[in-house]
Amino acid sequence: MTRTRTPGISRRSTLALMGAGAMSVATPWVARAQAKTIKIGMPTILSGRVAQLGTSSRNAVMLEVDKVNAAGGLAGRPIEMVIRDSKGQPQEAARVARELVNTDGCEWLIDGEASSGSFAVHEVARDLGVLCVHTNSEASSLTADPKQHIPNAFRCVRQGIHDSIVGGSYAAAIAKAKGLKKWATCSPDYAYGRDTTGEFTLYLKRFAPDIEIISESWPKLFQPDYTEVVTKILQAKPQALYSCLWGGDLTSYIDQANIYAMFGQMEVFAVNMADYTALTVVKNLPKGIHSGNRYIKTYPATPENAAWGDAYKAKYNEYPTNWSWQNATAVMFLAEAAKKANSTDGKKIAEALAGLTIKCPFGADGTVTMRGDDHTLVGYAIGWGTTIPQEPYVPEVKAGDWKTIFELEAEWKKSKGYT
Amino acid sequence: MTELEAGRARTLLPVRGGAMLLRYRDVMIALIAFAVLASLPLFTGSKALLDFVIRCSAYGLFATSLNLLVGYTGLTSFGHGMFFGLGAYSFGLIMQKLSVPIPVAFVATLAITAVIAAGIGAICVRLKEIYFAFVTLAFQMLIHSTILSWASFTGGDQGLRGGIPRPAFFGVDLANHVHLYIASCALLVLGLLAMRQIAQSPFGYTLRMIRDNAARASFLGIDVWRAKLTVFVLAALFASMGGMVMALFVSGAYPEFAYWTISGEGIFINMLGGVSTFLGPMVGTVLLLLLNDTVTRFTEYHGIVLGVVILFFALGLRKGLLDFVADWFSHRRDAGEGR
């Protein structure tokens, strides 16, 4: 066989082309001088299946930022948000976060990523030492695990473990009152679904030890057809069902289970039901589904919360989501910390944030706290109630007890080897 | 390249300056390319530019290795991303759990990839065309599902958390951004050079023959199955290298690295850059990342923009960019010589 060379483009030309390409890449990346405005970068999910939640995060942030700017900004510097889509891919989230800091000159980050993306942005914060507030990742390990801890990162989000403790004790009380001993579970088959369900049943059994789980179903995330799951549960004949399906999965599940009249046959506990993205989409919302509060403007039942929900609706013509209040709270925290530190220096803000308590419409007692030792949000309104088919959807919510949450959370941390 | 073109190539390019120079031309170009890339930090302080080149290294190695299969052997793999993910996860897990020096983890990852690729390849390369494509896709989904469900080991859908430790070795500290950049460039250039050697070796020409006419190759006494398996494993190794660069860049590994969308991006890159020139996928990588990075800065409707671009390449140019440029050059030369 003869060895031959291709007669096409020479390597020299190719390299020249690549060089020209590199130059054109470099031009827009000339670092800009620091302005008087403070830029805050925010990677979040603006395309794909959960785009609605990412958009609601952006809306909430802008709602609060406008207020802060109208009041004179952060320590005299107006905020400029730079919000970009990460497509929900961790490598894109990491890239976008780095670009926001290194190229766009953002001094802080609000990390609007969920799940794996938040861990990717966390590594960027660790690497660059930039102040970072996670606003959408509910994975408890993000702040509970001491290996994850860095002084410049905070989490302003509800947490899986808190939800499970409150849900477990609420469900156990109802189980005792109504004699519900046989339980089934139905949750999406990925880390969030498995962990949350495991923790919920752990606390359910702790508060009501004679409960038995007789059937477990693990539909795939984003599964379109739940017939198989519904019939499996109906055949097992449980007295109660727990589910942490969310968003579109939960609404299609309910629509399909309605055909089999499932909701008349058992008590249903769906932690993610009381969120407008699910409540307003279900065709026939059954009465009496037990749900945790994600976000509803009637809980906490304060004029501040109702006003905030209405202001959001007035501006964006839709109700806020669970992600919305978390992001709004993050901006409130940053504004208060800047006031306290009278500075926009990331380090000083981080010091001010640790242990900071602020007034907030979403607090259980009108305030929320950024706990000092693990940099995570506590004291937010958390409770369970039952649904009705029209507004206000969940008329009465039984509040969770933060004292119990703290005790059991400390125990849980110990059992995980985190403390 | 057809035999006719090959014959013309010999007449067009008489050996100037001796065989030695020709033999080492690729090496010289690689050295110069590395020198240019490595000296970039001297001229610019832009971390974003360095980040861009690091990501180009990761995707470039991956896409070029895919071209060894698609362009040179005619094996359109839809599951090549599994080796990208495998590289990232093996490397990350070895560094996190065993705390060995980085070069050891690097070699161990390549060894693991080779073993797994040999196993998967032995099954896949017996098949042709669409069957090959779908079985590779099936294996990719198998690996992706394993990563998701084996949460105690891989971290499940939240990925490898806590960062990948990077102890310094031989004075190289990969926690330092510039060191990581230079190491990525070195891996890219070495990887491309090695793949170039594979493509230009007699083995590389065997692959082309298999692509053009496997039956003829078989009649000439070539063990087609073994040649296909060899290139499948080799391509997997370079994809795995790309995965390792990505794992170092994001300091973690995530299930998305082993998802089919990564394989899709690889195919997309090859379509953009072109599959009939060696550097086509590299050009495609730069194009795609450049497009992605600029478009996502301005709009969240990047899907529409990328779709229009791929339509332009598929319907307008009907080939990758470098293929188009190469054709244009050879047409111009032909016209100039009055042929």
pLDDT tens across A111-149, in order? 998 877 888 899 899 988 999 999 998 888 888 888 889
**Is the pLDDT score of A403 beyond 90?**
yes
* C-beta of residue A151 within 8 angstroms of C-beta of residue A143: no
Highest mean pLDDT among A350-354, B7-11, B168-172: A350-354
Contact assessment for residue B136 and residue B124, using Cβ atoms and an 8 Å cutoff: yes
Cβ-proximal residues to A181 (8 Å cutoff; 6+ apart), any chain = A175, A210, A211, A212, A239
pLDDT (0 to 100) of residue B272: 87
User: What pLDDT is recorded for position B162?
Assistant: 76
DSSP state of B338: T
Map tokens 């997997």 to a residue: B236
Q: Among B2, B32, B158, B328, pick the best mutation site for testing chain A contact (most A Cβ within 10 A).
A: B158
What is the model's pLDDT at position B8?
46
- Is the Cβ of A11 closer than 8 Å to some Cβ of chain B? yes
Q: CB of A99 within 8 Å of any CB in chain B?
A: yes
Instruction: List, for residues A195-230, the tens digit of each pLDDT value.
Output: 889 989 999 999 999 999 999 999 987 788 899 999
Rounded to the nearest 5°, which phi and psi values hold at A357?
Answer: -110, 130
Collect all residues of chain A within an 8 Å Cβ-Cβ radius of residue B302.
47, 85, 87
Contacts of A259 (CB under 8 A, 6+ apart): none
Domains of chain A: 29-159+306-378 (3.40.50.2300), 161-295+381-415 (3.40.50.2300)
Q: In 10 A of CB A127, how many CB atoms?
A: 18
Confidence of residue A18 (pLDDT cuts 50, 70, 90): low
B70 vs A221, more confident: B70
Please give the share of chain B, as a percent, with pLDDT higher than 90.
Answer: 40
Distance in angstroms (rounded) separating the CA atoms of residues B102 and B117: 22
Check B33 against A15: CB less than 8 A apart.
Answer: yes
DSSP H helical segments within A114-246, as ranges?
115-128, 141-144, 160-178, 191-207, 227-236
Mean pLDDT check: name the lowest of A80-84, A288-292, B21-25, B219-223.
Answer: B21-25
Which chain A residues are within 8 Å of B300, Cβ to Cβ? 46-47, 51, 85
Shortest alpha-carbon distance between residue B123 and chain A (Å) = 28
**B249, containing H or E segment:** helix B224-250
User: Exposed (0-12), middle (13-18) or buried (19+): which is A379, by Cβ within 10 Å?
Assistant: buried
Distance from C-alpha of B79 to C-alpha of A192, rounded to nearest angstrom: 27
Q: Coil, strand, or helix at residue B105?
A: helix
Report CA torsion sign: A251, A253, A259, A264. negative
Cis peptide before B14 (omega within 30 of 0): no
Q: What is the pLDDT of residues A145-182, one digit of tens each?
A: 888 899 999 999 998 889 889 999 999 999 999 999 99
- B296 CB neighbours in chain A (<8 A) are 84-85, 87, 92, 96
Partner residue opposite B254 with nearest CB, options A91, A99, A191: A91
ipTM of the complex: 0.78
pTM to 2 decimal places: 0.82
User: Rounded to an integer, what distance in angstroms lies between the CA atom of residue A280 and that of residue A283?
Assistant: 8
Mean pLDDT confidence for A27-35: 43
- pLDDT attached to residue B333: 84
CA B233 vs CA A394, B132, B140, B196, B229: distances in Å: 58, 15, 15, 16, 6
**pLDDT higher than 80, residue B45:** no
* pLDDT for A195: 83
Residues in B touching A127 (Cβ below 8 Å) = 251
Q: Which residue of B has its CA nearest to A101?
A: B48
Is B63:B273 a contact under the CB 8 Å cutoff?
yes
Q: Phi and psi of B259, rounded to 5°?
A: -85, 160
Using CA atoms, how far apart are residues B311 and B331, in angstroms rounded to an integer?
24
Beta carbons of B279 and A5 less than 8 Å apart: no
Contact A98 B47 (CB under 8 A): yes
Q: Determine whether the interchain pair A90/B297 forms a contact, defined as Cβ–Cβ distance below 8 Å.
A: no
Average pLDDT over residues B83-101: 92
Q: What is the DSSP letter of B80?
A: T
Q: Tell me which chain A residue has its CA closest to the CA of residue B145.
A: A190
Helices then strands (H, E): number in chain B? Answer: 16, 0
Residue type, A366: G
Q: Calculate Rg over the CA atoms of chain A.
A: 24
Q: How confident is the model at residue B131 (pLDDT cuts 50, 70, 90)?
A: very high
CB contact under 8 A, A26 and B44: yes
Q: Decide if pLDDT at B5 tops 50.
A: no
Hey, what are A149's tokens? Answer: 């801890």
Distance in angstroms (rounded) separating the CA atoms of residues A231 and A52: 31
**CB contact set of B332 (below 8 Å; sequence gap of 6+):** none
What is the distance between the alpha carbons of residues A343 and B81, in angstroms, rounded to a whole number? Answer: 46
User: Is A90 close to B159, i.e. CB distance below 8 A?
Assistant: yes
Nearest chain A residue to B196, by CA: A5
Q: Is A23 on the interface with B (CB under 8 A)?
A: no
A127 at the B interface (CB within 8 A)? yes
| Residues 41-80 in A contacting B (C-alpha not used; CB under 8 Å) | 46-47, 51
